[in-house]
Structure 1
């Protein structure tokens, strides 16, 4: 059985990537740095092996977001794409940048000391569909 192939990219399409791996660990990150980097209440990240990750179009721009990690984003549209800790064999890719994010199921919470009190993933909230399609 072959490993699953994953692909994704930024909003404008100038950065595209792919990687292989199965099963993949995914989780919510509530740390303040992920909140700032994504502009959301938390990040959802999937962790493929760094060796399995490659750019298929363009390349993200990266910066040192802390003394122990870099973050990368599209230099054209700003989409957050990944987080990589120094000397780590994994890369943490933003689930929202995947072509098929519905195939990822978060299984852990990280950075819970910074979790917002109201950051519940509740199915009891009223739904509303978007008018835009991607």
Structure 2
């Protein structure tokens, strides 16, 4: 069953709607994706471009001879990856309004993955809403904590 999902950049200037067939996503470990997203691995959902509608066209960065990446020039959000001649696009999981819908089902470019970052579930964790330095700043700036 197809599900219409929405997403966009951090500042809201660029929004999209995508018809999604399943909850499968993947992690790309290549150095291009790591640098483009600033993350240890990039989480993507592959979508046919014909099933994607932008509210406004994002800016595009030609990141290699074969690839290009949509982004917002205002806030810098990385929105995905596409082959220059591709029919599909990989949208960043984090740019979806409901990123928790997706689950990772595979890894790509495993020859360059950062092994130390593969499983962090054993590490201690803390809640952002309990971190006083952060919450005090939000309340001082906006009068409330973010959603």
What TM-score, normalized by structure 2, do the two folds share? 0.84
Gaps of 5+ in 1: none
Q: Does 1:39 align with 2:38?
A: yes
- Which residue is equivalent to 2:94? 96
* Higher Cα Rg, which structure: 2
2-structure distance, mates of 1:46, 1:30: 14
Larger % of helix: which? Answer: 2
Provide the alpha-carbon RMSD of the alignment: 1.4
- Which residue is equivalent to 2:146? 133
- Which residue is equivalent to 2:140? none
Contact 2:23/2:103, CA 8 A, preserved across alignment: no
2-structure distance, mates of 1:59, 1:121: 36
How big is the shift at 1:133? 3.0
How big is the shift at 1:130? 1.7
Per-residue CA shift, 1:3-56, capped at 9, x if unaligned?
A: 101110011111100110212541000000000000111100000111000112
**The residue matched to 1:33 in structure 2 has which SS?**
helix
| Count of aligned residue pairs for this structure pair | 132
